[in-house]
Amino acid sequence: SQQGEEDPQALSIQEGENATMNCSYKTSINNLQWYRQNSGRGLVHLILIRSNEREKHSGRLRVTLDTSKKSSSLLITASRAADTASYFCATRGAGGTSYGKLIFGQGTILTVHP
Amino acid sequence: NAGVMQNPRHLVRRRGQEARLRCSPVKGHSHVYWYRQLPEEGLKFMVYLQKENIIDESGMPKERFSAEFPKEGPSILRIQQVVRGDSAAYFCASSSGQVGTGELFFGEGSRLTVL
DSSP characters over B73-97: S-EEEEE-S--GGG-EEEEEEEE--
Q: What is the mean pLDDT of residues A42-48?
A: 96
Count of beta carbons in the 10 Å neighbourhood of residue B74: 17
How many Å lie between the alpha carbon of A41 and the closest alpha carbon of chain B? 5
Residue with the bigger pLDDT between B41 and A53: it is A53
Q: Average pLDDT for residues B54-79, to the nearest whole number?
A: 95
Assess contact for B93 and B102: CB atoms under 8 A.
no
The confidence score (pLDDT) of residue B58 equals 92
What does the pLDDT average to over A82-86?
Answer: 97
Mean pLDDT (whole number) for B54-78: 94
Tell me the pLDDT tens digit for each residue of A67-78: 999 999 999 999
The pLDDT of residue A30: 87
Condensed to tens digits (0 to 9), the pLDDT of residues B89-112 reads 999 999 987 655 578 999 999 999
Q: Report how far apart, in Å, the C-alpha atoms of B110 and of each of A30, A58, B21 are.
A: 29, 30, 7
Residue-averaged pLDDT of chain A: 91
Which of B43, B45, B103 shows the shortest C-beta gap to A48? B103
Verify whether the Cβ–Cβ distance B42 to A106 is below 8 Å. yes
Q: Return the bridge partners of B89, or none.
A: B37, B111
Look at A99 and B100 and tell me if their CB atoms are within 8 Å: no
Between B103 and B8, where is the model more confident?
A: B8
For the residues B5-10, what does the mean pLDDT come to? 97
Residues 6+ apart with CB under 8 A from A13: A19, A79, A110, A111, A112, A113
Residues in A closer than 8 angstroms to B106, CB to CB, are 35, 42-44
pLDDT in tens, A3-44: 668 889 999 999 999 999 999 999 888 899 999 999 999 999
Ranges of beta strands (E only) in chain B are: 5-7, 10-13, 19-24, 31-37, 43-50, 53-56, 65-68, 75-79, 88-95, 105-106, 110-114
pLDDT in tens, B11-34: 999 999 999 999 999 998 989 999
- In A, what residues contact B, Cβ < 8 A? 2, 4, 30-31, 33, 35, 41-45, 48, 88, 92, 97-107
Confidence of residue B67 (pLDDT cuts 50, 70, 90): very high
Q: Could you tell me what percent of chain A has a pLDDT over 90?
A: 78
Within 8 A of A88 by CB-CB distance, chain B residues are 42-43
Q: For B33-52, how does the pLDDT look when each residue is reduced to its tens digit (9 = 90+)?
A: 999 999 878 899 999 999 88
Closest residue in B to A3 (Cα) is B44
Q: Nearest chain A Cα to B92, which residue?
A: A42
CA dist A45 to A6, A34, A74, B6, B74, Å?
17, 6, 13, 18, 22
Q: What is the pLDDT of residue A2?
A: 45
The answer to whether the beta carbons of residues B107 and B57 sit under 8 Å apart is no
| Nearest residue in A to B94, CA atom | A99
**Could you tell me if A45 and A111 are in contact, meaning their C-beta atoms sit under 8 angstroms apart?**
no
- Residue of B48, B99, B106 with shortest CB distance to A101: B48
Closest chain B residue to A92, measured at CA: B102
